[in-house]
Structure 1
């Protein structure tokens, strides 16, 4: 394939991929989920703190009442993620339309609880109303995404169509803004009251149960299928090869699925229950750091003869170990470089397959679903996921990367070294 053909393909792919990645809907959802990072990270570290794999530690925090305090933190972080994402996604999505987020956020909360089942129990001769917590955590995440997006978009649509109460110019802006959202807000709430009534007449009884059964569970089935994950991450590397940020493109589609899976995983890990999933965002992040090319960076650092690759190894190894792949990808470069296309495109698939098989047969435990921390180096990220065995597997995968990358690196390094030697001889000849 000629360079012209490659450039033509890249030009055709880039607009479509950028459109997917930068659409208001995608940006609103992913931006909202990223905004929830402080809460999701706190839940991850709280679960790790509570379940640190040392029996003496667990006995100590239980006997001193520390565990119950930490569990409260987990209840309102990991087990409260549906509400957290409801707020952050509504805010992020409203900002995509340059609208004030206050009313959309409030409407999203009201609409979410309108469709949430409630129960009335008699305690001490008094009726006590309660809300089941099961829909406030992992099981309610997709409901939260749908409700926040729909409520926000409807509100903005009705407002921009002019379905508002316009106040005189003498009225203070704060009061005027409140009244401008009155009619759209009423319409949105009434629509969700109808939705709640409709689902109440079905066998599902609630919108949450329907979404969980028909949307979230099947999608998590796709996210839990190693074949689909391998295909997705191979496609991501193909996009990277053409200079498109494949990871962002794929995550703009699968992030809600993976987030719900990891939330369920972390909730089970925090409660000391069997982990429900093998895959998820934590699984992919743990085993494909730096595009599974850390071994390539180490080869350049340790074995390169040419100045070109030796220098590149010195510059890219430390960032690669900390999950930063850009110096390696664009410095080599790996983009549009057919010399390294095979390991660059397929090494992720190899790493994920090996990790999945070893997890299935029980040699390595399932990852705990911890929120991936940007810049967390390998080994430490494995320990965060709940076991030293995961860290050992990370190291073994890096060694495997070195084996797979070696013939491609060796050929390129020898060619670069010969070129450098010829240039050196030419420079000496010219000097003489």
Structure 2
């Protein structure tokens, strides 16, 4: 372990530091960190609203509270892409030494311009169901599905704004005009050019089968996976891809199509067979899915941060640990951040893949599983350390523990090196503060 830490410290840390000094990566990390209060602030309400007790959400719906829980959740994570765009554009503009507020608001407007602004719904007219088009923004595009496109928009538009502003295209106003008014009106030519680009992108993608840029992006990623059937290797591929894409800021919602089809096929097929006392047709893929979910349980990672040296890691552990028990990972993903952080690329991208193959090997040989498929219907916030033993008994619990150990071993050396680096930065900042006083 010490030798691995030495390798990380000597080889990976300098590379990570060099990459994080890059304007784009630095802005990405800062942008995600600045949105972490939203993901942390919503965690308590999300847990309460989706508490893993049978009938709890039905009860909240019955007394009229569930719609308000959903409204609060949608107001935070449901439109998270908007917050990321604004925060990321601000951070990148600061590094490019251009007007931060203008770049952020223009980026936000650009994103809204290029996404669909109508929704087709069904209404009753004269006793018949007819399609109706209403003007509305779809939450899917403002949340997980639009996150990656939103990141690209923030970076490209901010860079374009800075470039055009440097070419004397700004409208010059007299010095007598208040600075706030001048900063708002002077970039009118620059913004016009940027919005013409938005118009061109919107029109261009309207001629594709997808119809818009976000659907096009989702279809491109989903296309190779849509033909997959539920099998051990397909589960490992999709779950591994989810982890890799999440590192690059592409939310799991992007793959909800193929993953939803496969998971629904497994769940319903297994439940039907279980009810008829037949052999489960998707036993091994379901077991592997559970093992890979266990490897993605961030409570193991966060729990090790309580003994960190740096104040940042300790505080982040306190804020993120309870949400992580209920499978809410956004606080740590955005707060560390893990997304687009070169230091954590290896554990984030490869831990689940390794655990997938280990689970496959154990379940197929020395630890056969007798699975109760009804446990897959438990709420998504059900802690994995409760769900897996209930679903598969002792053998499944052993596999879960094995996956926990692998997760800890994969993350620990990288966390230790990163923690030491943060601690040294904190000490340097304290010393600089003392000297300045």
- The TM-score, its normalising length taken from structure 2, stands at 0.54
> In the alignment, is the contact (CA less than 8 A) between 1:165 and 1:180 conserved in 2?
yes
Question: In the alignment, what sits opposite 2:249?
Answer: 256
The DSSP-based 3-state class of the residue aligned with 1:76 is: helix
The DSSP-based 3-state class of the residue aligned with 2:106 is: helix
> In the alignment, is the contact (CA less than 8 A) between 1:52 and 1:386 conserved in 2?
no
> After the TM superposition, which of the residue ranges 200-209 and 47-56 deviates more from structure 2?
47-56
Which one has a bigger Cα radius of gyration?
1
> In the alignment, is the contact (CA less than 8 A) between 1:155 and 1:188 conserved in 2?
yes
Query: Aligned-pair RMSD on alpha carbons?
Result: 5.6
> In the alignment, is the contact (CA less than 8 A) between 1:365 and 1:389 conserved in 2?
no
Question: In the alignment, what sits opposite 2:92?
Answer: 93
Supply the distance in 1 between the matched residues of 2:185 and 2:92 (Cα, whole angstroms): 21
Question: In the alignment, what sits opposite 1:214?
Answer: 220
Q: Structure 2: state its 5+ residue gaps.
A: 126-131, 229-233, 261-266, 269-285, 308-313, 323-349, 364-368, 409-437
The DSSP-based 3-state class of the residue aligned with 2:219 is: helix
Deviation at 1:192, TM superposition (A): 0.9
Supply the distance in 2 between the matched residues of 1:84 and 1:38 (Cα, whole angstroms): 11
Question: In the alignment, what sits opposite 1:109?
Answer: 108
Supply the distance in 2 between the matched residues of 1:281 and 1:151 (Cα, whole angstroms): 37
Structure number with the bigger relative contact order (C-alpha 8 A, sep ≥ 6) is: 2
Deviation at 1:155, TM superposition (A): 0.7
Supply the distance in 1 between the matched residues of 2:80 and 2:20 (Cα, whole angstroms): 23
Change (3 A) 1:24 1:203: same
The DSSP-based 3-state class of the residue aligned with 2:145 is: helix
> In the alignment, is the contact (CA less than 8 A) between 1:87 and 1:105 conserved in 2?
yes
Change (3 A) 1:403 1:121: closer
Supply the distance in 2 between the matched residues of 1:172 and 1:263 (Cα, whole angstroms): 50
Change (3 A) 1:88 1:366: farther
Matched ranges for 1:27-106 at <5 A: 27-55=26-54, 57-106=56-105
Q: Which of 149, 161, 174 pairs up with 1:143?
A: 149
Deviation at 1:256, TM superposition (A): 0.4
Deviation at 1:146, TM superposition (A): 1.6
- The TM-score, its normalising length taken from structure 1, stands at 0.55
> In the alignment, is the contact (CA less than 8 A) between 2:292 and 2:355 conserved in 1?
no
> In the alignment, is the contact (CA less than 8 A) between 2:170 and 2:188 conserved in 1?
yes
Question: In the alignment, what sits opposite 1:162?
Answer: 168
Question: In the alignment, what sits opposite 1:339?
Answer: none
Deviation at 1:40, TM superposition (A): 2.6
Matched ranges for 1:202-351 at <5 A: 202-215=208-221, 226=236, 254-258=247-251, 260=253, 285-286=296-297, 289-290=300-301
Q: Which of 183, 195, 201 pairs up with 1:195?
A: 201
How many residue pairs get aligned? The number is 320
